[in-house]
Amino acid sequence: MQFHTLRIARVIRETPDASSFVFEIPEAQAELFRYRAGQFLTFRIRRRLRALLRCYSLSSSPEAGDAPMVTVKRVAGGRVSNWLNDRLAEGDHIAALPPAGRFTLREPADEPLLFFAGGSGITPILSLIKTALWRGGRRLRLFYANRDADSVIFRAQLEALARAHAEFEVIHHLDSSGGVATPGQLAAAAAGFESAHAYLCGPAPFMELAEAVLAAAGFDSGRIFIERFVSPPDGQAPAVALRAEGVACNLAIRLGGTLHRVTCQPGQSILQAAREAGLSPPAACEEGFCGSCAARRLRGEIRLNANDVFSEDDLAAGWTLTCQGYPETPDCEISYDETND
């Protein structure tokens, strides 16, 4: 995977604990860093001779004409989130992978949109909201939970958007005054949006609650989209604990318009086999969460250890996560050169 150097054009202090970083994209890299609302960037930070990889969502909207921007909230003990907030300034540079991620708006483009965000989970959701409003033709409702009033990221932007667009409604919830959000409150927020596409991002307990509430309300799982991130282990090639499985496979890999033939040994993921053969396929979290390593299965059978990205329909269409994929037949072919929109 090839990292590219981006310049910080502007730093915006959103709350005492969160900052937005606006990037200057060189003209030569404009196409490479073209992104869709809801996607993220993966950054490489070198600390004490180690490389730390972290994924942060783009809070900007390409359709609205925003410059690419990520928003980072401090995490207790977070080596990267705190470093970025304390050290990164206008004019500094940072290493980043091109945009990735599937937490994006789906068709049809006229169905309502329901958003549940908790804390910094508002970051990709703001991008989706601004893009949907720019395109027009959809009703939108956001339920946004935070610890207290000082923790609300993008409050002014959200309120301005709600004033300017009658089709957009914001429901704020503060734990400090109302306690932790309840199933009943989330169910009330979903009422009237039963035909909507629902997007969830925030702390794991909050998203689990929202997902359960939506399921109880009759939402089809194929209409619920969830963004989860985990911090990968330290190092340039994060390791994942794996048990021996799969079969020896003659693996064909299409990457960058070239067909490569590699050997994948039992117990070796497709991503590991590709790297061992000297290839540099895309990857970020390596835990089955982010979708950066996605590829299309063209031939053979592949089993996934973990998958928090693809639906059953996606899997049936051949999509797989190479960080979690193990060949189950001795002859397989995959392609990184396709997109899954």
pLDDT at res. 231: 54
- CB-neighbour burial class of residue 312 (10 A; exposed 0-12, middle 13-18, buried 19+): exposed
Read off the pLDDT of each residue in 62-74 and give the average, rounded to a whole number. 94
Cα dihedral 218, 222, 223, 226 sign: positive
pLDDT at res. 77: 84
Lowest mean pLDDT among 45-59, 79-93, 291-305, 313-327: 45-59
Give the tokens for residue 238: 């994060």
Going by the DSSP 8-state scheme, the letter that residue 107 receives in this structure is S
Q: Is the pLDDT of residue 131 over 80?
A: yes
113 within 8 A of 138, measured Cβ to Cβ: yes
- CB-neighbour burial class of residue 130 (10 A; exposed 0-12, middle 13-18, buried 19+): buried
pLDDT at res. 243: 38
pLDDT band at 310 (very low <50, low <70, confident <90, very high): confident
pTM of the model: 0.78
Give the tokens for residue 260: 């490569």
pLDDT band at 169 (very low <50, low <70, confident <90, very high): very high
Q: Is the pLDDT of residue 130 over 60?
A: yes
pLDDT at res. 133: 97
81 within 8 A of 97, measured Cβ to Cβ: no
Give the tokens for residue 60: 């900007």
Q: Is the pLDDT of residue 238 over 60?
A: no
Read off the pLDDT of each residue in 40-57 and give the average, rounded to a whole number. 82
pLDDT at res. 154: 97
pLDDT at res. 325: 93
Q: Is the pLDDT of residue 2 over 80?
A: no
Sheet holding 249-255, edge to edge: 258-264, 249-255, 331-335, 294-299, 319-321
CA proximity to 116, closest of 164, 12, 54, 188 = 188
pLDDT at res. 244: 40
- CB-neighbour burial class of residue 257 (10 A; exposed 0-12, middle 13-18, buried 19+): exposed
Mean pLDDT, rounded, of the chain: 89
Lowest mean pLDDT among 1-10, 18-27, 243-252: 243-252
Q: Is the pLDDT of residue 234 over 60?
A: no
pLDDT at res. 86: 94
pLDDT at res. 109: 83
